[in-house]
Structure 1
């Protein structure tokens, strides 16, 4: 199979390991970057357009398609799902379509779709200014969650407990979304819906991350992971565990809400990354994205549930039903975490060889480099990387992951 991967704006080498997984699944992968630098993928299968205008991306993809006859177009980048839908439609290749892509990208449009489709979701209000945010607080009650409509990675997402905190947090979020990378990396000329802020009612229960697949009349939960972090007010300290602690009845309820939500978003054939949180005993949708989850969630899915979301992306892109069944945990315990540091200009990262080579690790990736500016809330949400370990129990896996992460040394410029 010959596939085209697209990033409207190249995200460094972040997705290269996933491109390699696609090729390991039997594909010949070509990578088209709107804006970026050469050298991240073999030169004969990588093109830099020099523009992220959607018309230029479509023209470049069409030109390459005439030469190589791609079977499908894919992306792993949240900021490129709308561009991929437009490119695939222009090339006559399988796609969820621009409308479903836009609905699955913009949190306001997503919430409105959930409302129309009767998928359980938190109460929400669009708040383009502080006055309306404060009015929403009076109407819905605190605590609330303040978030960007076009966000990702928990950037500028705040738990707000009072009108005083809203007055503090709203200007921070409003300023942050002006040049937020998840918006600036989008293709130019694509309708993304409103770039603004939402408030949502706060859900106070357990949270779960799901790698799923929508295929015609069914939605499959390929992998279910527990978010086990003690939560602060900036949603930036993710630690995850699989297999899930959900009961069979709870899994059935989660399956139903994800299925209803995906259909409400107009998604009938796509890989999904769903985030669900319980509130007063019921599961509610936080979001459903039309790409796999980040970090090491693809590795956790394979190890803990026997589901491969990366291979599924390649299959869906060419219109082939992936190998998937309803959730069946393997019983192998995994624990994964984001590597979080303080803010500052990074001078060096020292990873001992017996850490990077530890046999218990199933995933280890440093995403930051010396010279990078690490921003922490409320200015941003940069991390150093990801680390995941296996164990005979959650406690064993978590202890190993924590001990290995503690041995990574980070230095900052003065």
Structure 2
């Protein structure tokens, strides 16, 4: 099994641990970055194009494929799902197709697809100007959610509770999305749809993160994770628990809305990361991405539900149906959190051995390092990393995760 992993613009070393998992699961993995850093992956299986224009990326991929054929192309980056679809099409390899990838990347196009396909979703409106957003508030009332069409990781996503807050947050979001990494890392030369802001009606219930698989006439929910954060006016994905607290009837309702949404987006064969929130007892789609969820959600899925999103991506990339069935929890309790600090430039991060070597951790990853600048809302949404622990209950696992996270020390230069 020879696979090609692609990033139009390299997201530092964020995906290296996932590339290593791909190899542990039996693949010969090559990595192609449009723009990237030397020495990121073994030299004989790593190439940098020197450009993030899609024509240059396709040309480099095609030349490599002619020398040593690939069985499939994949990415773990939200900012490269469209590029991967274009490259796979050019190489004649399995792909969801560019249109489905674009619809699954751009939140406005996604919402339009959900509306057309009958998938439950919040009210939405594209808002090129502040006046458009204020008009939506007048018509729908508050709170509203303001978000980028081409965002990720909750960057510049705000809960808006009043016209005054909209007047404050809207220009912050407009300025922020201009050089937001999740937009600038996209391949050049692709029509990604409108780059701007939308407002959505607020959904007031519980939120759930799902790792799923679309395969022809069925969608399988491999893993369901509860988001248990008490949120404010920003949306940090910072505390999760599995197995889910959903009842069997609620799981069935979530399955229906995810399946309807995936088909509405034109996705027939893909690993999926779906986010669903309940409102007045009914599940609504926040989004369905055509890649696995970030952080430690892939580890959480394996531990709590026996489902491997990474292996699913590998098999889908080469056109082979992954081993998956409908959601079946293992009974192991897990709690995971984002490691969040104040804003500033990092001088040093100290991780005691009692943390890194803890047998109760199922996942631990520090993604920031000395010299990195941490931005917090409203200027960005950077974190230090992720930590997840197991336990006999959610309370037990959460207590362990919290105690271990508290031992990590971060020093700043300012």
Query: Per the shorter chain, which TM-score range?
Result: over 0.9
Instruction: State the distance in 1 between where 2:137 and 2:201 align.
Output: 9
CA offsets 1:80-136 (integer angstroms, 9 cap, x no match): 000000000000000000000000000000000000001000000000110101001
Contact 2:3 2:27 in 1 (8 A): yes
Instruction: State the distance in 1 between where 2:20 and 2:178 align.
Output: 34
Contact 1:231 1:237 in 2 (8 A): no
Instruction: State the distance in 1 between where 2:315 and 2:304 align.
Output: 21
- Determine helix, strand or coil for the equivalent of 1:177: helix
- Determine helix, strand or coil for the equivalent of 2:116: helix
Deviation at 1:40, TM superposition (A): 1.1
Instruction: State the distance in 2 between where 1:176 and 1:19 align.
Output: 30
Which residue of structure 2 lines up, in the alignment, with residue 352 of structure 1? 352
Which residue of structure 2 lines up, in the alignment, with residue 343 of structure 1? 343
TM-score of the aligned structures, taking structure 1 as reference length: 1.00
2:49 paired with 1:49: yes
Q: 1:211-250, aligned counterparts within 5 Å? A: 211-250=211-250
Deviation at 1:12, TM superposition (A): 1.1
Contact 1:211 1:223 in 2 (8 A): yes
Which residue of structure 2 lines up, in the alignment, with residue 203 of structure 1? 203
Which residue of structure 2 lines up, in the alignment, with residue 81 of structure 1? 81
Q: How many residue pairs end up in the alignment?
A: 414
CA offsets 1:201-220 (integer angstroms, 9 cap, x no match): 00000000000000000000
Instruction: State the distance in 1 between where 2:131 and 2:9 align.
Output: 35
Q: 1:343-382, aligned counterparts within 5 Å? A: 343-382=343-382
Which residue of structure 2 lines up, in the alignment, with residue 281 of structure 1? 281
Contact 1:213 1:219 in 2 (8 A): yes
Q: 1:393-408, aligned counterparts within 5 Å? A: 393-408=393-408
Deviation at 1:400, TM superposition (A): 0.2
Which residue of structure 1 lines up, in the alignment, with residue 111 of structure 2? 111
Contact 1:207 1:276 in 2 (8 A): yes
- Determine helix, strand or coil for the equivalent of 1:390: strand
CA offsets 1:233-279 (integer angstroms, 9 cap, x no match): 11015200000000000000000000000000000000000000000
Which residue of structure 1 lines up, in the alignment, with residue 177 of structure 2? 177
CA offsets 1:174-195 (integer angstroms, 9 cap, x no match): 0000100001000000110000
Which piece of structure 1 moves more, 6-15 or 228-237? 228-237
Q: 1:17-96, aligned counterparts within 5 Å? A: 17-96=17-96
Which residue of structure 2 lines up, in the alignment, with residue 316 of structure 1? 316
Instruction: State the distance in 2 between where 1:108 and 1:167 align.
Output: 22
Q: 1:29 to 1:237 in 2, by over 3 A?
A: closer
Contact 1:242 1:300 in 2 (8 A): yes
Contact 1:335 1:394 in 2 (8 A): yes
Contact 1:346 1:369 in 2 (8 A): yes
- Determine helix, strand or coil for the equivalent of 2:307: coil
Contact 1:146 1:199 in 2 (8 A): yes
Contact 2:203 2:278 in 1 (8 A): yes
Structure 2 runs not aligned, ≥5 long: none
2:135 paired with 1:135: yes
Contact 1:237 1:340 in 2 (8 A): no
- Determine helix, strand or coil for the equivalent of 2:405: helix
Which residue of structure 2 lines up, in the alignment, with residue 300 of structure 1? 300
Deviation at 1:61, TM superposition (A): 0.1
- Determine helix, strand or coil for the equivalent of 2:19: helix
- Determine helix, strand or coil for the equivalent of 2:178: coil
2:16 paired with 1:6: no
Instruction: State the distance in 2 between where 1:143 and 1:152 align.
Output: 21
2:269 paired with 1:265: no
Instruction: State the distance in 2 between where 1:69 and 1:355 align.
Output: 42
Instruction: State the distance in 2 between where 1:205 and 1:389 align.
Output: 26
Instruction: State the distance in 1 between where 2:118 and 2:224 align.
Output: 23
Contact 1:6 1:73 in 2 (8 A): yes
Instruction: State the distance in 2 between where 1:140 and 1:182 align.
Output: 29
Structure 1 runs not aligned, ≥5 long: none
- Give the CA RMSD over aligned residues: 0.5
TM-score of the aligned structures, taking structure 2 as reference length: 1.00
Instruction: State the distance in 2 between where 1:151 and 1:55 align.
Output: 23
Instruction: State the distance in 2 between where 1:16 and 1:93 align.
Output: 23
Instruction: State the distance in 2 between where 1:252 and 1:152 align.
Output: 27
Deviation at 1:341, TM superposition (A): 0.3
